[in-house]
Structure 1
Amino acid sequence: MSVVLDKQISGVLADRLSVGKPQLITDTGLVLAGALLVGILAQVSIPLWPVPITGQTLGVSLVGVALGARRGALSLATYALLGVAGVPWFANFGGGPAYLLKPSFGYILGFIAVAWLVGYFAERGWDRTVLRSFFMFFGTSLVIFFVGVHYLWMALNVTGVSTGYLQAWMVGFVPFLIGDVIKCAIAAGLAPAAWKLVNHTNQ
């Protein structure tokens, strides 16, 4: 019984949808699709100094929960690397090496860690109920802010904008908190619903 139960709660959505297909080709397609999704949601943007509010974090959550830890982190690493290389899919169609000096780039680095974390918990069945999904998404999203705010603080001071540590948290975390809760709630509703659809389809 325990073996059957473990099979039912382990794995992620991508594992169910890619059964019987060439693994390398499938994984490459999923990684690129995840990066593209985040790039599209990055254009859903509300201007704010020094970092805009975007739909990126929702995309990160969905990529991590759908692809799992390894593919999710690789997808967001691809997003970051190609963006720095010049693909204009950061917020407001930004991209290029100069983006490394922008206060918002730290959040993009945080995306990689969070995609891995979300994927790790999703592989262990945390995305099967709304409540557990919400705590998974919200708890892991705090890592984005931890990395992002520290990078923001350093980037502003390096580029000549004198910013205190507490002030960095006030402009880099507080304005985003309500939006983050909403995006986590949306993702928490979508993940279990997707599992129900997949399980119903496979019956």
Structure 2
Amino acid sequence: MTKEKSKLRMMIQCGIFAAITAVLAQVEVPLPLVPISGQTLAVGLTATILGSRYGALAMVCYAALGAVGLPVFAGLKGGAQVLVGPTGGYIFGFIATAFVTGLILERTKYNLTMAMIANTAGMIITLLFGTIQLKFVLDLTWGQALAGGVYPFIAVGLIKAFLASWIGITVRSRLIQAKLLSGGKKVAA
């Protein structure tokens, strides 16, 4: 496959994963300050399957789609006001999360253990970005920001990190076998 075709394929996959993130964002459990949604599961899947650069690019596409007003964020919300609002930090965190999660896997091995470590690190990054913006936008104390923006998400976040790791490694392996994804580093069992 030519370099141009390979790049085009990866750009299409970025678009697909931005769309998957938009769909999973609509799976949500409302909480007082920040809902639990499927977005972070999608971010972990994206990073585990596409890696650092393309995973982060897919999240940039997702954020850009929402920024221009498409209803891709949780609760079918869209617009720049979401990005500068209380939950916008989580969305910005998705970009860093995808990059770091993918980078950890690229520098180690694509196996379940390393994917779980990478996705857990990613969860921490998302929560960090989200909590900082939540604190400042709503003028909360750090204790209030942690109580509303971190503590309710730890157990669910670890479950989503495991699911993103397990599903992501499996799908990545299948895509590489089907020659639909460039392997870079092979998946280790």
Alpha-carbon distance, 1:119 to partner = 1.4
Matches within 5 A, 1:16-27: 22-27=5-10
Q: Distance in 1 between matches of 2:178 and 2:25?
A: 31
* RMSD, aligned CA: 2.0
1:134 alignment partner in structure 2: 116
Is the 8 Å Cα contact of residues 94 and 126 (structure 2) preserved in structure 1? Answer: yes
Structure 1 residue runs without a partner (length 5+): 1-17, 158-162
1:192 alignment partner in structure 2: 169
The change in CA–CA distance for 1:177 and 1:20 in structure 2 (over 3 A counts) is same
Alpha-carbon distance, 1:123 to partner = 2.0
Q: Residue 36 of structure 1: SS of its match in structure 2?
A: helix
The alignment status of 1:145 with 2:127, answered yes or no, reads yes
Is the 8 Å Cα contact of residues 24 and 39 (structure 2) preserved in structure 1? Answer: yes
1:143-196 deviation per Cα after TM superposition (whole angstroms, max 9, x unaligned) = 111111000011112xxxxx2111101110000111001101112222333355
Q: What fraction of aligned residue pairs are identical, expressed as a percent?
A: 31
The change in CA–CA distance for 1:201 and 1:98 in structure 2 (over 3 A counts) is closer
2:141 alignment partner in structure 1: 164
Structure 1 stretches of 4+ with a deviation exceeding 4 A read 18-21, 198-202
Q: Distance in 1 between matches of 2:28 and 2:71?
A: 14
1:10 alignment partner in structure 2: none
1:8 alignment partner in structure 2: none
Q: Distance in 2 between matches of 1:193 and 1:76?
A: 21
The change in CA–CA distance for 1:200 and 1:113 in structure 2 (over 3 A counts) is closer
1:34 alignment partner in structure 2: 17
Q: Distance in 2 between matches of 1:69 and 1:105?
A: 21
1:123-156 deviation per Cα after TM superposition (whole angstroms, max 9, x unaligned) = 234332x222211111221011111100001111
Q: TM-score, normalised by structure 1?
A: 0.81
The alignment status of 1:72 with 2:72, answered yes or no, reads no
1:4 alignment partner in structure 2: none
Q: Residue 123 of structure 1: SS of its match in structure 2?
A: helix
The alignment status of 1:83 with 2:66, answered yes or no, reads yes
Alpha-carbon distance, 1:201 to partner = 5.5
Is the 8 Å Cα contact of residues 64 and 118 (structure 1) preserved in structure 2? Answer: yes
Q: TM-score, normalised by structure 2?
A: 0.86
1:98 alignment partner in structure 2: 81
Q: Residue 50 of structure 1: SS of its match in structure 2?
A: coil
Equivalent of 1:108 in 91, 99, 105: 91
Alpha-carbon distance, 1:89 to partner = 0.5
Alpha-carbon distance, 1:19 to partner = 8.0
Q: Which AA in structure 1 matches 2:157?
A: D
Q: Distance in 2 between matches of 1:32 and 1:201?
A: 19
Q: Distance in 2 between matches of 1:55 and 1:83?
A: 16
Alpha-carbon distance, 1:68 to partner = 1.4
Is the 8 Å Cα contact of residues 48 and 169 (structure 2) preserved in structure 1? Answer: no
The change in CA–CA distance for 1:150 and 1:29 in structure 2 (over 3 A counts) is same
Structure 2 residue runs without a partner (length 5+): 180-189
Q: Distance in 2 between matches of 1:195 and 1:31?
A: 14
Q: Distance in 1 between matches of 2:169 and 2:19?
A: 23
